[in-house]
Structure 1
Amino acid sequence: MKSPETIQKLLQLLSQSPTEDYNVILNAFDFGSLDFAPFESWSNEKYTRNCLFKDAKFELILLCWEQEQETAVHGHDGEDCWVYLLEGEMEEVFFTIDDDQCLREIGSQKVQSNQLIFMNDKIGFHKLKNSNLGRSISLHLYAKPIENCVSFDEVSQTFIERQLSYDTFKELALKD
């Protein structure tokens, strides 16, 4: 049975655990029992960022992707980022800055439903793209919340500081 209570269980596990345990928690959690429908929002213009929870320790965001929508190449402001693909298929493309200070693609991977990936600034920069023939939904966990990040501006061909925002904020309260 799908119930918002299982989302509460995930929030409790994350809030009571050190960051070092997030990977194990996310890999072991039964996301198939969660109902994210009340938190979904969709746009034909861009993927949407829908905040489920945010405190000083972490934020949990549901991203809803229409076909071929993608992020800019970006960093994570020094924070760790886990992405669990709930539905669909994504492509993650990796980038680095070469010796000439130019952005260079260094690889990519396909991400399938029920797969967890990890990224931080020590690994480099990346972008995510919905490579599915339909919609995709991903759950993003940031430890700690990210207010700003650098993203690559295609027009100026430089990295710019970007303030992040949510399309919806239906925050769940952490229950004791």
Structure 2
Amino acid sequence: MALSKIDGEIDNIDQEKYLRQATHYYCALEKPLKFGPAVDSLPDLISALHREFDANYVNIEMVNHLMLAYKSNPKEWRKYAKFDRYTYTRNLVDAGNGKFNLLILCWGEGHSSSVHDHADSHCFMKMLKGELREKRYRYPNRGGDEEQQQQQQQQDHQHINDHELVEIGDKPIPVNDVAYINDNLGLHRVENPSHTDTSVSLHLYCPPFDMCNIFQSNGKKIPAKVTFWSKYGVRNKANEQ
């Protein structure tokens, strides 16, 4: 194997390790950067993300800025928005460069996800149409920083079982807002609260993952494979991987 190829593989491993470790240092990311670049279209957003993730070290705050800076335009994303009658769908928009991927999720009336984690990755969720509601839960039986330890002490005082799901937040996500979560911030469940309107959201995961855990109410976690309902606007059974 050529040395350049070995070096590239090592770089990719180091990048993935760096991105996963970086989840320990990021909490709420809400506002765009004061002097960040403008994003005029979905193709502009994708190009800007590729440039950002081409760097040796990714600035998560810049990624958040780019997601916030893009204003939803249905003419740009409609071709990726594939719905299913019975469940929400995950539709691949861009596979990134191995450090991230970009998906559009489509939520029918009343559709919701299970409570799940994000495999130690960063998750950005931007609303493109309608509204979603995000419920967050403490990650059961997981060590963490000082704030988590304080929460654990409070729960011990209240006689809460460490293995049970404990809700720690509940908020709506309106159009063009961005929600950010990683496993150190907890788990979440996402729901379209409307029974008359559909919702569409744009998700960025870095690094990408194909397995996560879903959680039952007693805190038991079950490994789950995550798949794509479509890729690049094309629905194909072979794309479910």
Compare the two structures and name the one with the higher helix fraction: 2
Pick one of 3, 9, 13 that aligns with 2:44: 9
Between the aligned partners of 2:168 and 2:210, the Cα distance in structure 1 is 27
Which residue number in structure 2 is paired with residue 151 of structure 1? 214
Deviation of 1:9 after TM superposition, in Å, equals 1.7
Q: Which moved more, 1:90-99 or 1:75-84?
A: 90-99
Which of residues 43, 54, 58 in structure 1 aligns to 2:100? 58
Q: Which stretch of structure 1 is more off in the superposition, 91-100 or 65-74?
A: 91-100
CA contact (8 A) 1:7 1:34 kept: no
1:43–1:15 Cα change, 3 Å = same
Between the aligned residues of both structures, percent identity stands at 26
Q: Which of 111, 136, 141 is the aligned partner of 2:199? A: 136
Aligned partner of 1:46 among 87, 94, 97: 87
Amino acid at match of 2:50: S
Does the alignment pair 1:103 with 2:175?
no
Structure 2 gap segments, 5+ residues each: 1-39, 53-57, 141-159, 234-241
Larger mean Cα displacement after TM superposition, 160-169 or 99-108? 99-108
Shift of 1:107: 2.1
Report the number of matched residues.
167
Amino acid corresponding to residue 29 of structure 1 in structure 2: Y
Q: Which amino acid aligns with 1:30?
A: K
CA RMSD of aligned residues (A): 2.1
In the superposition, the TM-score normalised over structure 1's length comes to: 0.87
For the residue of structure 1 that corresponds to 2:73, the secondary structure is helix
Q: Is the 8 A contact 2:42 2:70 kept in 1?
A: no
What are the residue-to-residue correspondences of 1:86-97 with 2, within 5 Å? 86-96=128-138, 97=140
Relative to 1, partners in 2 of residues 1:166 and 1:103: Cα closer, same or farther, differing over 3 Å? same
* Dislocated runs of 4+, deviation >6 Å: none
Larger radius of gyration: 2
Q: Which runs of 5+ in 1 are unaligned?
A: 172-176
The alpha-carbon deviation at position 91 of structure 1 amounts to 0.6
Shift of residue 34, structure 1, vs aligned partner: 5.2
Deviation digits for residues 82-132 of structure 1 (CA, Å, limit 9, x no counterpart) = 000001011100111264311111220011111111010010000100013
* Conservation of the 8 A alpha-carbon contact between 1:19 and 1:143: no
